[in-house]
């Protein structure tokens, strides 16, 4: 484990009654990068984040934050901020009281940033938290997460209920603030394309297993969709890993996991086949849904 490792997990496993929420998770997250933790609802994202932040504990395996187990370890916990998507606040708390509390516990708290974000989101700080709309509630979590400037900050589906403008405000402020105060950010999301440009590294979890762990850059050109006459498509793709297959009469459209060089592209053109890029979201959806995407294969690629 290098000096710059912020989060390291080994064989992390968590089982709830009959559901294996996390199954042998091995991850290394470097400091000062923005990670996307992507996956479907119930894939294990929140369980993983809860364990990494000491809010929960594993049945088996280890999770180390800056080399320490976070569970019940105050010095480590004080370097982390994780506001859940379903975060509960004290019944009688008003918005500004939640910020007062956060300012006490997060040592790097920036009140000015918090105030600016309150303005940006148009958040009524004197209102009781239980009276807030879903979007306003998300905004409270986003503001605590951002203004805490914790060394590791988790955002758990932070955009729920936020309108498009507010979401853009969040993305813009996050990038601005990250540039000035680099830290490790883990963004859990299923609006993948919307956050794709923010992410430096992508981790996809499905049914408690890691199915993708790779730099976002590597994933952008990692797949291509070939469309054309079914027979020719089949001939062109050969033995490449198929992520998705659509057919309409004699036409077929197949997404394969491969990087095409200029020669291959030329070949496709000559065969009358259409090549279209695959967005990160499509790639993730296809990979996560495709049973053939084995965890081991993906991981070797990412580690190399």
Contacts of other proteins in 68-87 (CB under 8 A)? 72-74, 77-78, 80-84, 87
Strands 80-83 and 152-156: parallel
Burial class (CB in 10 A: 0-12, 13-18, 19+), 236: buried
Site pattern 134..153 for other proteins (x: CB under 8 A): ----------x-----x---
> Does 42 sit near other proteins (CB under 8 A)?
no
DSSP per-residue letters across 269-292: HHTT-EEEE--HHHHHHHHHH-TT
Sole binder of other proteins in the list 55, 125, 227, 241 (CB under 8 A): 55
Binning the chain into helix, strand and coil, the percentages to the nearest 5 are 40, 30, 30
Beta bridge partners of 170: none
157 or 206: whose CB is closer to other proteins? 157
Q: How far apart are CA 145 and CA 133, in angstroms?
A: 19
Site pattern 102..141 for other proteins (x: CB under 8 A): x-xxx-----------------------------------
Cβ distance 171 to 181 under 8 Å?
A: no
Question: In angstroms, what CA-CA distances link 89 with 38, 69, 174, 242?
Answer: 26, 26, 23, 46
> Does 93 sit near other proteins (CB under 8 A)?
yes
Number of residues near other proteins (by CB under 8 A): 33
Least distance (Å) between residue 294 CB and other proteins:
32
> Does 54 sit near other proteins (CB under 8 A)?
yes
* Interacting residue ranges for other proteins, rule: CB under 8 A: 50, 53-57, 72-74, 77-78, 80-84, 87-93, 97-98, 100-102, 104-106, 144, 150
């Amino acid at each position: 484990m290098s000096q710059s490792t912020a989060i390291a997990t080994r064989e992390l496993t968590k089982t709830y009654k009959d559901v294996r929420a996390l199954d042998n998770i091995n991850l290394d997250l470097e400091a000062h990068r923005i990670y996307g933790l992507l996956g479907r609802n119930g894939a294990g994202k929140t369980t993983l984040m809860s364990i990494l932040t000491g809010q929960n504990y594993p049945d088996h395996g280890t999770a180390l934050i800056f080399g320490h187990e976070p569970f019940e370890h105050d010095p480590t916990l004080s370097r982390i901020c994780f506001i859940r998507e379903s975060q509960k606040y004290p019944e009688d708390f008003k918005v500004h009281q939640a910020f007062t509390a956060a300012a006490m516990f997060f040592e790097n708290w920036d009140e000015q940033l918090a105030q600016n974000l309150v303005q940006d989101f148009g958040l009524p700080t004197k209102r009781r938290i239980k009276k807030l709309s879903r979007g306003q509630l998300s905004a409270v979590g986003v503001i605590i997460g951002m203004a805490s400037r914790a060394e590791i900050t988790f955002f758990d589906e932070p955009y729920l209920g936020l309108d498009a403008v507010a979401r853009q405000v969040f993305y813009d402020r996050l990038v601005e603030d990250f540039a000035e105060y680099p830290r490790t950010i883990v963004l859990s999301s299923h609006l993948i394309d919307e956050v794709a440009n923010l992410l430096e590294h992508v981790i996809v979890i499905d049914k408690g297993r890691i199915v993708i762990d790779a730099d976002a850059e590597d994933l952008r050109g990692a797949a291509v969709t070939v469309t054309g006459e079914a027979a020719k498509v089949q001939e062109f793709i050969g033995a490449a890993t198929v992520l998705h297959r659509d057919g309409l009469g004699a036409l077929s459209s197949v997404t394969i996991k491969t990087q095409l060089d200029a020669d291959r592209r030329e070949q496709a053109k000559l065969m009358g086949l259409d090549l279209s890029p695959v967005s990160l979201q499509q790639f993730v959806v296809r990979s996560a849904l495709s049973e053939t995407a084995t965890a081991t294969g993906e991981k070797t690629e990412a580690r190399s």
